[in-house]
Amino acid sequence: MEHLDVPQFLGLLVMMLGAAKLLGAAAKAIGQPAVLGELVAGVVLGMSVAGIVDPQNEILHLLAELGVVILLFEIGLETDLRKLLKVGGAAAVVAVVGVALPFALGYAVCWALGLGNLVAIVAGASLTATSVGITARVLSELNRLQEDESQIILGAAVIDDVVGLVILAVVVGLTQGQEVTVLGVAQTTAIAFGFLGGTLLLGTFIVPPVVRLISRVDLPGTPTILAVMLAFGLAWLASVAGSAMIIGAFAAGLLLRGTPHAHEIERGVAHLGHFFVPLFFVTVGAAVDVRVLNPIDPANRQTLLVGGLLIVAAVVGKFLAGYAPFWIKSNKKVIGVGMIPRGEVGLIFAQMGLASGVFDTGLFSAVTLMVMVTTFMAPPLLKYLFPPIKSTKLAPEPEGIEDLVT
Amino acid sequence: MEHLDVPQFLGLLVMMLGAAKLLGAAAKAIGQPAVLGELVAGVVLGMSVAGIVDPQNEILHLLAELGVVILLFEIGLETDLRKLLKVGGAAAVVAVVGVALPFALGYAVCWALGLGNLVAIVAGASLTATSVGITARVLSELNRLQEDESQIILGAAVIDDVVGLVILAVVVGLTQGQEVTVLGVAQTTAIAFGFLGGTLLLGTFIVPPVVRLISRVDLPGTPTILAVMLAFGLAWLASVAGSAMIIGAFAAGLLLRGTPHAHEIERGVAHLGHFFVPLFFVTVGAAVDVRVLNPIDPANRQTLLVGGLLIVAAVVGKFLAGYAPFWIKSNKKVIGVGMIPRGEVGLIFAQMGLASGVFDTGLFSAVTLMVMVTTFMAPPLLKYLFPPIKSTKLAPEPEGIEDLVT
């Protein structure tokens, strides 16, 4: 599996896309978001069931990351920066409380179980970051991206992804026995948020004239590829600058939204998204090890207990965070539920904990269980609380694109 | 370079796409096909100049192969099977003569230079297969895909790609000291061609009803992804069956052409093509080592002499093959020139020769030189002999796609 020749690679892509589309359709048929089916497709193809998709495989990992970068770029293209800034205060409060509360609850759970200080910190940290990919995809499928609740969720998820990075930097330092200084943390935080602010500020002035200039040159290929290059380029810069890649991709979408080619780009990128985005969700699903769910194996009971308590901490912490901006009129239940899914970042913490020896395999599995359950419970809950509305798009697409992000 | 982390990978894609689009536009500005600019972009980014793109890198290799599979699928979608079969006799004659003559001339050159029997066979074999990707892309850029000459070139290039595989199997056997039996060769040939015939025969009956069935199910994603799955799936099957991947992809295009979704698929796949196809040409360009061109280094003189003679053999052999179907009225010069570019397959022979110890590095470089020169001379020559015509498409694309394969 580590080394793939070209035909094997093509076969793997066919199986991943086929399972994603098939189970996505099945999920829709029983009234669930398609993303749930894509995640299940990943579980089925993953190492603990069919053994076909190895999420650790380098090329699958790279393609999956292209998928989430393209997804966040698409979400950025659909997001009105002014609308987002209008709810910025509420989003910031949701993000901060949604990081602090799950961390505290997770820490408390581990402390109560007598697992030690460092273990409790890493486990608590793994509860902090919402998977913006899953939430954004579900909101997009429900045609609800333009609602205030969605803007708050999206803003908070983007912010807590950046916070998650800062926490990750701190926790990596801790597990390596480094001293954590206030100055260091402040610096990491400033860089992570500074990139987003700086890019948006500079980009607002630079991107529109550059787009005008480029559309005059006879470049082969559509504006779509140039837009994708901006998304990849900003994602790369974001990472080099010490911020999160998806922040760069999201910023690229925000910046291109106002340009004359935005609609054309949106449709073109959707085609790339249809290809790459399911690869991301299948890979996330493939990281799930269903064997830890078997309660007959006594070795799993401790894992299920710890995992169950972490799930409660994860769900309660984010749900209550939805109520933190008490002054707003929006549906706070929806905001809280929208923040529940943990994904990639939670798994990164789990893997880091295992690799550094802070977690044993039991605790690693408990955190994975928490990621799995929160990821899978959010789409149906969100759909129940926030029923889909009909598309508000003006005209039916001539080429039969049902919705931007499917 | 071997191990890429995600931000590096994104940066690399930005550089490859950026250089391809920029030099593609520059090529068009001086009246050359864009593909020439993309190949030059590859040379510039390649290991012998900038050292950024390593064509041996596994991930780039896989993505480049996706590019050529998608390209041949696009070409298949634009190709009318009946038209292709109508010129099938002429195409078969061009293919057979275009394999035999360059092989004989290449063998003669090496024999005259006293290089030994096995060396002469491998070098001769490296001259046999036309790079269907480069030729198809140029014909598509010239809006000439529907002409008889193009159909003959395309048919012959597809056939000689399959013949190239058979020769490769034989040559690999020879370099490993195996005995070559007539039965074995006949078997390999039958499988390689049988796959194409069998797929087209079965597919004509199976694909239309399956497409009708699937379009009734509410599958998330556009028909484009299902079409891509068919292309990848047939490419995979072709390889498993012992035929060439691009044959499977081309067959998928031919089969879907007649279906009601063909136009929609064509536009959707074009977006994926804009992304993946330039990665293929940049990777081909990156395999060029410009250092062997330096005549001041005495070590290069022998290489330049052998390479020069191989180039003559390669060009004369394919050019004369264009005149082999003497009974047809088409422009035979165009056909001959269209067959000149060697690409991937030539390089595969060169690498195999080097790896098996049959070639020394000098001869390896000479074959690379032949691939390089034939690849770079064909686009401008073809454009000169076969000037582009205005698009015959009925309506301008609403989303500004200038042409299908750019």
Q: Which residue has the higher pLDDT, A383 or B214?
A: A383
A357 touching chain B per CB within 8 A: no
Distance from CA of B122 to the nearest CA of A (A): 24
B399, B403, B404, best to mutate vs chain A, most A CBs in 10 Å: B399
Is B161 in CB contact (< 8 Å) with chain A?
no
DSSP single-letter state for residue A290: G
What integer pLDDT is reported at residue A2 of this predicted model?
54
Terminal-residue alpha carbon distance, chain B = 28
How large is the average pLDDT for residues B233-251? Answer: 88
Dihedral, A44, A48, A52, A55 alpha carbons, nearest 10: 100
Cβ atoms of A28 and B220 closer than 8 Å: yes
Which residue in chain B has the smallest CA separation from A35? Answer: B220
For A401, the closest of B3, B222, B229 (CB atoms) is B222
Sequence-ordered list of residues with C-beta below 8 angstroms from that of A300, at least 6 positions apart, any chain: A291, A292, A293, A294, A365
**CB A406 within 8 Å of CB A274:** yes
Contact A335, A314 (CB under 8 A): no
| pLDDT recorded at residue A404 | 39
- Mean of the per-residue pLDDT values for chain B? 86
Q: How far apart are CA A272 and CA A267, in angstroms?
A: 9
pLDDT of B179-200, one tens digit each? 778 888 888 788 878 888 899 8
From A14's Cα to the closest Cα of chain B, the distance in A is 5
Q: What is the pLDDT of residues A81-110, one digit of tens each?
A: 888 889 999 999 999 999 999 999 999 999
Q: 3-class DSSP state for residue A53?
A: strand
Q: Do B245 and A10 touch (CB under 8 A)?
A: yes
The pLDDT tens digits of the residues spanning A140-156 come to 889 998 899 999 999 99
Of A140, A40, A55, nearest to A372 by C-alpha is A40
Strands annotated E in B123-271:
none
Question: Which tokens is A300 given?
Answer: 């799993």
Comparing B232 with B186, which gets the higher pLDDT?
A: B232
Which residues have a Cβ under 8 Å from the Cβ of A326 and sit 6 or more positions away?
A: none
Q: Which residue has the higher pLDDT, A319 or A207?
A: A319
* Residue count (chain B): 406
Q: How far is CA A70 from CA A74, A252, A269, B267, B295, in A?
A: 6, 10, 8, 19, 47
The beta-carbon neighbor of A275 closest among B9, B272, B278 is: B272
The model's pLDDT over A178-230, given as tens digits with 9 standing for 90+, comes to: 777 888 888 878 887 888 889 989 988 888 888 887 777 666 557 889 999 99
Distance of residue A192 Cα from the nearest chain B Cα, in angstroms: 15
Of A174 and B375, more confident:
B375
Per-residue pLDDT averaged across A167-171, rounded? 81
Question: What is the sign, positive or negative, of the torsion defined by CA atoms of A134, A68, B219, B62?
Answer: negative
Say yes or no for a CB contact (<8 Å) between B6 and A65: yes
State yes or no: pLDDT of B406 exceeds 50. no
| pLDDT score for A123 | 93
Q: Which ipTM was obtained for this model?
A: 0.85
Locate the chain B residue with the closest alpha carbon to A269: B271
For residue B220, the model assigns a pLDDT of 53
Contacts of B267 in chain A (CB under 8 A): 399
pLDDT at residue A109, as a whole number: 94
Task: Note the pLDDT of residue A317.
Answer: 96
Q: Which residues of B touch A401 (CB under 8 A)?
A: 222
Judge whether residue A394 has pLDDT over 50. no
A240 touches chain B (CB under 8 A): yes
**A395: how many CB neighbours lie within 10 A of its CB?**
5
| Interface residue B262 vs chain A (CB under 8 A) | no
Percent of chain A at pLDDT exceeding 70: 94
Q: Which candidate in B6, B8, B272, B403 is best for mutational testing of the A interface (most A CBs within 10 A)?
A: B6
Q: How many CB atoms lie within 10 A of CB A288?
A: 27
Residue B405 pLDDT exceeds 60: no
Evaluated on CA atoms A60, A65, A71, A74, the torsion sign reads: negative
pLDDT of residue B397: 41
Cβ–Cβ contact A26 with B under 8 A: no
Question: Which architecture characterizes domain A11-385 according to CATH?
Answer: Up-down Bundle (1.20)
DSSP-derived secondary structure for B31-60? T--HHHHHHHHHHHHBTTTT--B-TT-HHH
CA distance B159 to B342: 14
**Radius of gyration from C-alpha coordinates of chain B:** 21
How far is B243 from chain A, CA to nearest CA, in Å? 11
Core vs surface per residue A363-373: b (16+ CB within 10 A) or e: bbbbbbbbbbb
Q: What percent of chain B has pLDDT over 70?
A: 94
Q: How far A80 CA lies from chain B's nearest CA (Å)?
A: 22
The mean pLDDT value for B98-109 works out to 95
Residue contact A271–B9, C-beta within 8 A: no
Measured in residues, chain A has a length of: 406
Distances A16 to A288, A300, B229 between C-alpha atoms, Å: 15, 29, 10
User: What residue type is assigned to position A357 of the chain?
Assistant: G
Give residue-wise pLDDT tens across range B137-169. 899 889 998 899 999 999 998 888 888 878 887
Query: Do A217 and B25 lie within an 8 Å CB cutoff?
Result: yes
Is B112's Cβ below 8 Å from some Cβ in A?
Answer: no
- pTM of the full predicted structure? 0.86
What is the count of residue pairs from A and B with beta carbons less than 8 Å apart?
168
Question: Would the CB atoms of A222 and B62 count as touching at under 8 Å?
Answer: no
CB neighbour list of residue B352: distance below 8 Å, 6 or more residues apart: B122, B168, B171, B172, B175
Considering only CB atoms, which chain B residues are within 8 Å of A218? 25, 28-29
For the domain spanning B57-385, the CATH number is: 1.20.1530.20
- Cβ neighbours of B305 (radius 10 Å): 13
Asked whether residue B404 carries a pLDDT value surpassing 50, the answer given is no
Q: Which residue would you say has higher pLDDT here, B217 or B276?
A: B276
Return the domain boundaries, chain B: 57-385
- In chain B, residues with a C-beta closer than 8 Å to the C-beta of A278 are 221
With contact defined as beta carbons under 8 Å apart, do B157 and B135 qualify? yes
B355 has a pLDDT exceeding 50 = yes
